[in-house]
Amino acid sequence: MKILLLVSSMTGHGAERVASTLVNAWVTRGNQVTLMPTFSGRGECFYELLPEVRLVYLADLVSSQSRTWINKFIRLQALRRFTSSERPDVIISFLSNVNVAAVVASIGLGIPVIICERNDPFMQPKSHSLQLSCRISYPFASILMVQTQAVAVKYVASGWSLKHLRVIPNPVPEKMLNIQYRASGATTKLLLGVGRLHEQKQFHILIKVFANLAQRHANWSLRIVGKGGLRTVLQQQITDLGLEARIELAGQSAAIDEELAKADIFVLTSKNEGFPNALLEAMAVGLPCVSFDCPSGPREMSMDGQAALLVPLNDEHALELALERLMLDADLRQTLGNRARSSVIERFSLDKILEQWDLLFQELGVQR
């Protein structure tokens, strides 16, 4: 089977991590896979790809890398020419703007198109033009795939005209299942947050809550892994609190598995998500996790709070209590972490997710 997977870029975000996991798995199974980042600025590939994955940058197929409307049209033409000449059996696209391009560029070619929302589009702000483009183009896609039942329900309730709507969650990378959190005897303990330094992730809340906990738990520190535009603001907050020795903004890391293996608790403070890979991977490693009950993802991933502690969205006091509960109880940390790992293996292992994709391909008549 020939698969063309379109993404915006491969520069290091959650959707790109999932894309790399899927394309590597598909080529391992003998499929021909082309991965195409469509961002006009090109960028470089942050994640490791197998040699069998063909990586083609759309920016290399056009002469201009500007972000004007004219260049967008030129890139659409280039994408259509490439798709027409390659004749993949199926096109898969990630993220709203790429989804629109995939649908428009493939009109009339007779190639099934699976468009994938990687976040909760009802919570993520979009420009009016992108919202309108999605509303017009999505009905022409063969299937809209989302990651949670909660988002699927929103699409149905909002009256979108879609051919087919399916739910497939993200797979956990296999390497995450090759390591497992083991409580160490060290007296120093680590609380870990992972994600872009962006308003959506609300790390300012995590820093504020930890500042309260730090006064009572001198053996705990906080490490935040990720990069983003709020780094200076967050660093100033840490400095103002006098916690430079206890809170670290560690920057982006390609070795998240190693970061998770060194931690003792994982925490997610996002205002909204689609299907938070960081939480999934922390649970897979067997870390005890605390998460805001934000739309969408944590509730389904945690089985309504059974496999990770859920606290009401933006309730700082509840977050502090939940974290302190885990900080004080090593047995609870181990029990909750083991339960998280078992639940992830059972529901989100790569083999189980690939089986769901296989059914999707069969539904479109492209499975070989």
Query: Residue 22 in contact with residue 171, Cβ under 8 Å?
Result: yes
CA distance 94 to 138: 13
How far is Cα of residue 112 from the mean position of the Cα atoms in its chain?
Answer: 24
Closest CA to 337 of 311, 310, 308: 308
Q: Are 2-171+349-364 and 175-348 in the same CATH fold?
A: yes
Query: Residue 47 in contact with residue 257, Cβ under 8 Å?
Result: no
Q: Is the pLDDT of residue 116 over 90?
A: yes
CB atoms < 10 A from the CB of 96, how many?
Answer: 23
pLDDT in tens, 318-360: 999 999 999 999 999 999 999 999 999 999 999 999 999 999 9
Superfamily of domain 175-348: Glycogen Phosphorylase B; (3.40.50.2000)
Query: Residue 65 in contact with residue 42, Cβ under 8 Å?
Result: yes
Domain boundary assignment for the chain: 2-171+349-364, 175-348
Closest CA to 161 of 137, 142, 139: 139
Query: Residue 142 in contact with residue 114, Cβ under 8 Å?
Result: yes
What is the reported pLDDT for 2? 97
The rounded percent of the chain whose pLDDT value lies above 90 is 80
The rounded percent of the chain whose pLDDT value lies above 70 is 98
Helix and strand totals (H; E) in the chain = 14, 13
Q: Is the pLDDT of residue 266 over 90?
A: yes
CA distance 91 to 113: 5
Task: Read off φ and ψ for residue 311, nearest 5 degrees.
Answer: -125, 150
For 13-38, give one letter per residue: b (16+ CB within 10 A) or e. Answer: bbbbbbbbbbbbbbbeeebbbbbbbb
Superfamily of domain 2-171+349-364: Glycogen Phosphorylase B; (3.40.50.2000)
C-alpha distances in Å from residue 135, one per residue of 79, 108, 124, 127? 21, 19, 15, 12
C-alpha distances in Å from residue 92, one per residue of 88, 187, 317? 10, 48, 42
What is the reported pLDDT for 368? 58
pLDDT in tens, 235-262: 999 999 999 999 999 999 988 888 999 9
Give me the chain's average pLDDT, please.
Answer: 93
CA distance 304 to 47: 32
CA distance 117 to 97: 10
CA distance 368 to 366: 6
Q: Which two tokens stand for residue 46?
A: 């942050």
The arrangement of strands across the sheet holding 265-268 comes to 247-251, 220-225, 189-194, 265-268, 289-292, 309-311
Q: Which residues are CB-neighbours of 179 under 8 A, at least 6 positions away?
A: 257, 260, 261, 285
What is the reported pLDDT for 72? 85
What is the pLDDT confidence band of residue 307, given thresholds at 50, 70 and 90?
A: very high
What is the reported pLDDT for 321? 98
Q: Which two tokens stand for residue 249?
A: 């903004």
pLDDT in tens, 186-214: 889 999 999 999 999 999 999 999 999 99
pLDDT in tens, 118-173: 888 888 878 899 999 999 999 999 999 999 999 999 999 999 999 999 999 999 98
The arrangement of strands across the sheet holding 90-94 comes to 54-55, 32-37, 2-7, 90-94, 113-116, 143-146, 165-167
Helices assigned H by DSSP within 55-121: 69-86, 96-105
